[in-house]
Structure 1
Amino acid sequence: MIYKPYHYQAYASQWIIDRKKSALFLEMGMGKSVATLTAILELLYDYFDVAKVLVIAPLRVASTTWEEEVEKWDHLKELRISKVLGSEKQRIAALYKKADVYIVNRENVTWLVNWFDHDWPFDMVVIDELSSFKSSKAQRFKSLKKVRPFIKRLVGLTGTPAPNGLIDLWPQIYLLDGGERLGKTVTGYRERYFLPDKRNQMIIYTWKLKEGAEDTIYEKLSDICVSMKAKDYLELPERIDNVIPVELPKKAKEQYDQLEKELILSIEETDVLAGSAAVLANKLLQVANGAVYDEDGEMKHIHDEKIKALDELIEAASGKPMLVFYGYQHDKDRLLGHLKKLKPRLLQSDKDIKDWNQGKVQVLLAHPASAGHGLNLQTGGNIIIWFGLTWSLELYQQANARLWRQGQKQTVVIHHIIAKDTIDERVMQALEDKDVSQAALIEAVKARMNKYKEGTTNGSEPV
């Protein structure tokens, strides 16, 4: 695909090129990754200013997003990517693969620093989700701080640099400038700009800004940090659709394939039966989501990959409200249990709608059939997550229209968590083609079933 950057994306790329240390505070969906990769490409091959780049990112983002961006855009095709993920043996092999950009998940930053020690090879480091380095006590911060003198260029990316207030900024900015702007220690930063707020005797739980401190902090950061909000740069109401791919664990994929091929799946001494194409399609969607009902109506757990992806989306949103659509009762039950610390709310009553629109609900769970015509939810948030897709194009469009509608003041970001190499991909494609119906999906399943039949000849295994 040919890259035609929006003016703010071109500005962001140039911002990185022009500064040895820089931060982009761009909201989700504004193209931070492609803007950063464009700058990396120029710094490598036009300016010859850097030789080896490290990207630190959340695990799912490290696994998929950056490589997919390179594959998506024509101008980035020459960038060589190596993902430093998996077992230690796999990570070591990836480190010694010839590449331009090496990608590591943030949990392995300490391992990486210890591995190279004083022979740190990366002259440019990009921290995707800089806010994940907001604790000066975290080991990942301490490790990166140790090798910071060996890093020629450092870029921080995040949509929410201070989710809990400006107290969170010091560690992030320290990694950029070594304390030049906000001081050498977090203690000094607090004393300079904050007053104790909530406390229990000598223990201080929260801090509040001194008068005029906020403007002073912003002014000190203005030469290296640029902040862009979607509403300032995108014509509203705007809609951004994202696909969040997840890969099923080996065992779960084997179970999925068995069900797809044999129309029966044995789990924990019970069977999941699919007697028709329609039933099979539903069962496959359930397995893709992470659980399935057996012949007795009991829920059987398969995997948690979609829940993990949801966790990362929630973390990246840093407290922004999210409307999460689920497909099955077991999806709802698992989500309610997993997210209980966030006090998720089910969309059931007028009070739920009122509380959502007043910003009192961080995670609102809804079945698309319960969020149809007439519900106005647009004042409560701008992020939708499809945990499990629906068969119905009408339900899909109406559910999205709860936030993507007149009166919405922000860009609506719609995430679709999709299990790779499953029926999810066919449903997603049909939704994009605006040709979703029960019949269309049944035909897709039948085509898949025929593939297995045609691939089996003379007693051989399916090809």
Structure 2
Amino acid sequence: MAINKHSARSLTLAEDTIKLRCLYEDREAVKQVTGYRWNKAEKCWEFPIRPEVYQQILQMLPGVFVYPDVKLAVNKVVERENQVAQAKVAGWEKVKPVEPIPLRTKPFNHQVLAYNLGLTLPSYAVLAEQGTGKSCITVAVTGRRFLRDEIKRVLIVSPASVVPVWPLEYKTHADFPFEVTPLEGPVAKRIEVLERWERDAEKLQIAVVNYEGAWRMEEALTKWAPDMLVLDEAQRIKTPSAQQSKCMHRIAKKVNYRMILTGTPVTQGPLDFFSMYKALEPSIFGRSFTAFKTRYCIFGGYENRQITAYKNLPELIRKAHTIAFRVTKEEALDLPETTDQKLYCEMETSAKRVYRELVSESMAELHGERVVTAANVIVRLLRLSQVTGGFVKDDTGAVNRVSEAKQRLFKEVMHDLLGTGKKVVVFARFLAELAAIEDDLDRWQIGYSRIAGDVNMAARGEEVRRFQQDKDCRVFLAQTRAAGLGITLTAADTAIFYSLDYSFADYDQARCRIHRIGQRNACTYIHLLARDTVDEKVMTTLQNKRNVADEVVNNWRNYFQIGR
């Protein structure tokens, strides 16, 4: 390496990039280096701080003068990633935490390893499949960084359906002082909450916001000054040009610690990595999407602008995994046999109005009855459950659409699950819900089987066989009571409950369709719930292993309460 600081070629360090100043005739050689970007204002080339990039520059431009801080920065990256690589090789079978884990609940071995890596890496990707405990890992890492006095405030950005889940995760797992606030409702109200939120050095302060809302209140979130950013279901920002992606890129530059969480880092192709890693750690793939595509894509077609294939994929995967922890349910043998998840949707204003009117009518009718029976209460609760699923019958018996909130949530969840290549079982109580789901699957051209009350018994065996054996049959649609007994659906290890049956026996039998002999994986059950509705009340009753009919005679008013 040259030592002449007056060389026409020099490498300097600036923020999170290496800056190269060189001769005009060097430009073609420079473009052979991974992750290049031309800085027009400063008239220099910029590169990510990566050891392989550093070595490429030295090889392509002999005699370049390197300032000492460049080499120090590169060596620091090498040392940190070597630690991570060694920990991964050692595995999690006998892993011990590098520092006490600040959790009330006992973590599984793979979570301990993920925790260790999260403390080693300031920018960290948890590429863990749904049901492997990404949120528990996040609570542990943020808690330890708080106790280390590295962070005071954390911003978690997630899909809207997951925002209400995060306070429950911290309440369940955290063994350290914390204050978590979900930012919901009108943007002006969210901003007001942030502005009134005073700092408290004794507690880790966590704000949770959805992606769609975050970019509309970027200034307020930046002013709140988080020390750490967590992007949950980070595939939501896989499109670099999207508003919410650009917002996350900007906020990420202003924090010292970053995490992304996703079980499906690639849903449409290798290009999905770029935007997520631009927010997480731009040194991995650089900040130029054009340079990234040049490195990993083969172009052809009209005017040579269409991506026809990919190249250098082993390199891409290796680089992505230098700061990532990947685990699937098949690998995490220490997982429990079953995991339950609750995801929430917010009904539209018009649907809430219909729901409230039905509640008022039902309350008035029940108050007017001399004797309140379970059957009478159940009839009225069913009408409310139909509304949360999006449909209601009018006086003529016709079914009318009143909400699409739960169907939007379903689409979001299915997009992620199908992106993993897995099969999925979907349980729904009402035929109108099944019909809406079928419309979606037909539009997506996803193969499915179906069992409901209107499918004759002779045809049901073939529907099951096709799901179990045909790789192109990705989804099994089931009306809960019709498909709750006697069938095996172990081709899937994940089931979605679009709506809930009121019988614990029927609900439990439905769960057993995937969790039975022949199932090799841990099973995940995802429940789609409309917030502040009967959905949540029924879910609580079923979790307590009780039938709704056994609860409603003495407690019927509780089921008709609006809100929590």
Query: What is the TM-score when the length of structure 2 is the normalising length?
Result: 0.69
- Residue among 279, 288, 293 paired with 1:185: 288
Q: Which residue of 1 aligns with 2:253?
A: 149
Q: Deviations over 1:359-417 (max 9, x none)?
A: 323443211233244433222x2221111112344433332222222222332111122
Give the distance between the partners of 1:156 and 1:424, measured in 2 at CA: 30
- Residue among 266, 269, 276 paired with 1:162: 266
SS of residue matched to 2:542: helix
Q: Which residue of 2 aligns with 1:365?
A: 477
**Residue segments in structure 1 that go unaligned for 5+ positions in a row:** 265-273, 454-463
Q: Which residue of 2 aligns with 1:223?
A: 322
Give the distance between the partners of 2:249 and 2:503, measured in 1 at CA: 51
Q: Which residue of 2 aligns with 1:232?
A: 331
8 Å Cα contact 1:135-1:168 kept in structure 2 = yes
Q: Which residue of 2 aligns with 1:267?
A: none
Give the distance between the partners of 1:286 and 1:20, measured in 2 at CA: 47
SS of residue matched to 2:208: strand
Give the distance between the partners of 1:170 and 1:4, measured in 2 at CA: 35
Write the letter of the residue equivalent to 1:376: T
- Which runs of structure 2 are paired with 1:124-143 in the superposition (5 Å)? 124-143=228-247
- Residue among 431, 438, 445 paired with 2:552: 445
**Kindly tell me: are residues 165 and 445 of structure 1, through their superposed partners in 2, closer, same or farther at Cα, counting changes over 3 Å?**
same
Give the distance between the partners of 1:237 and 1:41, measured in 2 at CA: 24
Write the letter of the residue equivalent to 2:244: R
8 Å Cα contact 1:289-1:331 kept in structure 2 = yes
How far did residue 291 of structure 1 move? 2.1
Q: Which residue of 1 aligns with 2:107?
A: 5
Q: What RMSD in Å do the two structures reach over aligned CA positions?
A: 3.0
**Kindly tell me: are residues 220 and 203 of structure 1, through their superposed partners in 2, closer, same or farther at Cα, counting changes over 3 Å?**
closer
**Residue segments in structure 2 that go unaligned for 5+ positions in a row:** 1-102, 200-204, 367-373, 452-458
Write the letter of the residue equivalent to 2:239: S
Q: Does structure 1 residue 52 correspond to structure 2 residue 153?
A: yes
Q: Which residue of 1 aligns with 2:517?
A: 406
Bigger drift between 326-335 and 251-260 goes to 251-260
Write the letter of the residue equivalent to 1:290: G
**Kindly tell me: are residues 351 and 164 of structure 1, through their superposed partners in 2, closer, same or farther at Cα, counting changes over 3 Å?**
farther
SS of residue matched to 2:514: coil
Q: Does structure 1 residue 27 correspond to structure 2 residue 27?
A: no
SS of residue matched to 1:86: coil
Q: Which residue of 2 aligns with 1:387?
A: 498
Q: Does structure 1 residue 42 correspond to structure 2 residue 144?
A: yes
Q: Which residue of 1 aligns with 2:384?
A: 284
Q: Which residue of 1 aligns with 2:455?
A: none
How far did residue 245 of structure 1 move? 4.1
8 Å Cα contact 1:25-1:159 kept in structure 2 = yes
- Residue among 217, 230, 247 paired with 1:112: 217
Give the distance between the partners of 2:541 and 2:209, measured in 1 at CA: 34
Q: Which residue of 2 aligns with 1:459?
A: none
Bigger drift between 129-138 and 389-398 goes to 389-398
Larger-Rg structure:
2
SS of residue matched to 1:80: strand
8 Å Cα contact 2:191-2:217 kept in structure 1 = no
Q: Which residue of 2 aligns with 1:175?
A: 279
**Kindly tell me: are residues 448 and 343 of structure 1, through their superposed partners in 2, closer, same or farther at Cα, counting changes over 3 Å?**
farther
How far did residue 423 of structure 1 move? 4.1
SS of residue matched to 2:331: helix
Write the letter of the residue equivalent to 1:366: A
**Kindly tell me: are residues 251 and 338 of structure 1, through their superposed partners in 2, closer, same or farther at Cα, counting changes over 3 Å?**
farther
Write the letter of the residue equivalent to 2:143: L
Q: Deviations over 1:65-85 (max 9, x none)?
A: 111112223525x21123333
SS of residue matched to 1:38: helix
Give the distance between the partners of 1:385 and 1:400, measured in 2 at CA: 10
SS of residue matched to 1:231: coil
Write the letter of the residue equivalent to 1:306: K
8 Å Cα contact 1:347-1:370 kept in structure 2 = no
Write the letter of the residue equivalent to 1:29: G
How far did residue 171 of structure 1 move? 1.6
Write the letter of the residue equivalent to 2:232: D
8 Å Cα contact 1:237-1:408 kept in structure 2 = no
Q: Deviations over 1:398-444 (max 9, x none)?
A: 322222222223321111223455443454344334443xxxx3342
SS of residue matched to 1:25: strand
Query: For this pair of structures, how many residues does the alignment match?
Result: 430
Q: Which residue of 1 aligns with 2:297?
A: 194
Query: What is the TM-score when the length of structure 1 is the normalising length?
Result: 0.82
Q: Which residue of 1 aligns with 2:435?
A: 333
- Residue among 186, 201, 207 paired with 1:102: 207
8 Å Cα contact 2:284-2:320 kept in structure 1 = yes
Give the distance between the partners of 2:198 and 2:415, measured in 1 at CA: 32
Give the distance between the partners of 2:551 and 2:533, measured in 1 at CA: 11
Write the letter of the residue equivalent to 1:7: N
Q: Deviations over 1:279-309 (max 9, x none)?
A: 2343333234332323432113343332233
8 Å Cα contact 1:236-1:409 kept in structure 2 = no
Give the distance between the partners of 1:172 and 1:132, measured in 2 at CA: 9
**Kindly tell me: are residues 338 and 252 of structure 1, through their superposed partners in 2, closer, same or farther at Cα, counting changes over 3 Å?**
farther
- Residue among 76, 80, 88 paired with 2:179: 80
How far did residue 152 of structure 1 move? 0.9
- Which runs of structure 2 are paired with 1:345-356 in the superposition (5 Å)? 345-348=448-451, 349=459, 352-356=463-467
